[in-house]
Chains A and B, each alone.
Chain A
Amino acid sequence: EADIYQTPRYLVIGTGKKITLECSQTMGHDKMYWYQQDPGMELHLIHYSYGVNSTEKGDLSSESTVSRIRTEHFPLTLESARPSHTSQYLCASSDPGAHEQYFGPGTRLTVT
């Protein structure tokens, strides 16, 4: 059973606030990802990491930042939230040799 966790599940926050979305996995996977998804739309890759101290930007430009200090932990930070950041954020992980990605349940963010 895949174990990947995201907190919070839902967040409503005011414009200008700093927020950190947490993602942890217990599978020892080296590769981790953050996706952004608007309702009815495709998942867009915003960040990924090959392992500790590795972070890369994805296809979709994002004002968020990520860090990878530990294998199991891949938090995403927005320094100053804006209404345009309202979306669902999905974290995933995979083994380097496998194509399959395991997804967390997502964080639905609303910025008012």
Chain B
Amino acid sequence: DQQVKQNSPSLSVQEGRISILNCDYTNSMFDYFLWYKKYPAEGPTFLISISSIKDKNEDGRFTVFLNKSAKHLSLHIVPSQPGDSAVYFCAASGDNYGQNFVFGPGTRLSVLP
């Protein structure tokens, strides 16, 4: 049973508009969340993180929102650029996992020029 879900396998957005990638989790013990970006033939690279004590974290064009009651987080990219086209993975961790992470299946974002 998937503990971290990304229900949209793909998303297409026009350049300059907002991209919103969603992630849901089932385990209430998760207390730290990360987003990774992956280009073809490369390993994932860390993008942004959020702890459960916060509900928002911002880094440049990237903002992650956390709704603990809904067990939902989202990644906003504003404005979207063609170079943002990649697969985005959500990952969650908690003390009960020894600080290891559980990954979602990813969402493929295509930013159209």
Contact = CB atoms under 8 A, between A and B. Distances in A.
A10 B24 CA distance: 33
B110 to A, nearest CB: 15
A74 interface: no
Nearest to A96: B99
B24 to A, nearest CB: 13
Contacts of B104: 42
Interface in A33-63: 33, 35, 40-45, 48, 58-59
B111 to A, nearest CB: 20
Contacts of B49: 99-100
Nearest to A43: B103
B7 interface: no
A101 interface: yes
Interface residues of B, number: 23
A3 B69 CA distance: 38
Contacts of A44: 103
A42 B2 contact: yes
B59 to A, nearest CB: 13
Contact of A104 (B2, B4, B43, B106): B43
A7 to B, nearest CB: 13
Contacts of A40: 9, 105-106
Contact of B101 (A6, A41, A101, A106): A101
Interface in B14-62: 32, 34, 36, 41-46, 49
Interface of A: 4, 6, 9, 33, 35, 40-45, 48, 58-59, 90, 92, 99-106
11 contacts: A40-B105, A41-B105, A42-B2, A42-B106, A45-B100, A92-B43, A99-B34, A99-B93, A99-B101, A101-B46, A101-B101
Given A9-B41, A42-B89, 11 more contacts: A6-B43, A35-B103, A40-B105, A41-B105, A42-B2, A43-B44, A44-B103, A92-B43, A103-B45, A106-B42, A106-B43
